[in-house]
Structure 1
Amino acid sequence: MEFATRPLPVGPETPFTASQIRDVIQQILATEGLPAIVQVGHPVIRQHAARFDGQIDDTELVQLIERMRDVMHAAPGVGLAAPQLGIPLQLAVLEDRFDVDPIASEARQRTPLGFFPILNPTYEPTSPSTASFYEGCLSMRGFQAVVTRHRDVRLSYQRPDGSTAAEEFTGWQARIVQHETDHLHGGIYLDRAELRSLSNDGEYRTNWAYPGIEEARHGLGFLDS
């Protein structure tokens, strides 16, 4: 059964200037160790991030991407957006190399996603199909909720070398693409979630950690048919 997606509320534009964005990035790059992932309530998480247009040079951009990749791996997660480090810039990194139960992988159409960074991304659905699954966020630790997202999307973005690209994604890869792009526009997964499905990690593992959502849908009373 497929359900409709929820619209993403528009976040306020970031008040950061290019100079302020550069200062935040340079401070992160100059600090030993990995920066902390900021949590919901931090204003940058809810701001529409600035488009990347050369606020930092090529060397700093490569260094920032590598630092973000390290933070993502350490978390661990399958994506990380610059606002999650307190940087209001339209940059995210994505990678999914987790081993997942084959039954869950098939149900969620989850296949490995090689590492790649995206700048100034936008996406659009390429089919009317949707998928509803539990989803979490590194900036809201300890909770998960069911989110209905487009099953198939076309992502348009800029590569770090300045070239533009467009790729199509489906299944869980499309979910990652949408989740991280939403971050850059001031959105978090709860904006699109079925709030009656919200579970802390312990309750999710105990009651609702199935490949699909039918048990949770009936047990918690959301997405009534």
Structure 2
Amino acid sequence: MAPPRDHAPLAERVEELLAAGGPLPLVAAGQPVLRRGTEPYEGQLGPALLARFVEALRVTMHAAPGVGLAAPQVGVELRIAVVEDPAPVTEEIAVARGRVPQPFRVLVNPVYEPVGAARAAFFEGCLSVPGWQAVVARHAEVRLRGEDERGRALDEVVTGWPARIVQHETDHLDGTLYLDRAELRSLSTNEAVAALWAQPEPRAAAEALGFELP
């Protein structure tokens, strides 16, 4: 049986969120909305309100800053996420992590499935778990399906860091946080990652902290 939800219509709650203007408040780990999963988007907001909500997600993601944001992270249980990654990293890191610039896009009702058995492990953080990072092994390549904000079908294969972003944000829509998939021995503050584990790959962290990489 699904847990009880707030009975206030979603459209009314989104209107209330948007009324203040500017970036939306982020929901931190421990709040049930991050664990309940989401409703498929089936027009609950209407085209105009959806466009305003998507823009608010974009503004909030940029302000955080982050490379992705899912609706539950602002308290809305709809299967919607936004992603954008300018990839401001060195060439060495970009090559090691498969990180390439990604334009802004909206994912509506996204799902993913692995393509092949390859996995890649890197430090990962989350706007809903501020101040911390941990190594997460994820599928190196996934098939992404869903729609965009205009209802146009998405069906594509995504690799490297973009695949990691897709998995992270889609997991949010299923009530899963990156910590559920993380190697907990790698859990580090942002400061520790910057000072000790800034290498392109987490091999030094694995050796020093005592965990295995795939």
- Shorter-chain TM-score: what band? over 0.9
RMSD: 1.5
- C-alpha displacement of 1:164: 1.9
Distance 1:113 1:104 in 2: 16
Q: Where does residue 117 of structure 2 map in the other structure?
A: 128
Matched position secondary structure for 1:138: coil
Distance 2:48 2:80 in 1: 15
Distance 2:3 2:118 in 1: 33
- C-alpha displacement of 1:33: 2.5
* Contiguous gaps of at least 5 residues in structure 2: none
Match of residue 207, structure 2, among 218, 222, 225: 218
Residue 65 of structure 1 pairs with residue 62 of structure 2: no
Kindly provide the amino acid, as one letter, of the partner of residue 78 in structure 1: V
Q: Where does residue 9 of structure 1 map in the other structure?
A: none
Kindly provide the amino acid, as one letter, of the partner of residue 151 in structure 1: A
Match of residue 170, structure 2, among 181, 200, 210: 181
Count of residue correspondences: 214
Residue 23 of structure 1 pairs with residue 12 of structure 2: yes
- C-alpha displacement of 1:223: 1.3
Q: How does 1:74-89 map to 2 (within 5 A)?
A: 74-89=63-78
Q: Is the 1:38–1:85 contact (alpha carbons within 8 Å) kept by the matching residues of 2?
A: yes
Q: Is the 2:22–2:56 contact (alpha carbons within 8 Å) kept by the matching residues of 1?
A: no
**Please, what TM-score do these two structures have when normalized by structure 2?**
0.95
* Contiguous gaps of at least 5 residues in structure 1: 1-11
Matched position secondary structure for 1:98: coil
| Displacement over 6 Å in runs of 4+ | none
- C-alpha displacement of 1:163: 2.6
**Please, what TM-score do these two structures have when normalized by structure 1?**
0.91
Q: Is the 1:80–1:92 contact (alpha carbons within 8 Å) kept by the matching residues of 2?
A: yes
Distance 1:112 1:58 in 2: 28
Q: Is the 2:134–2:179 contact (alpha carbons within 8 Å) kept by the matching residues of 1?
A: yes
Matched position secondary structure for 2:9: helix
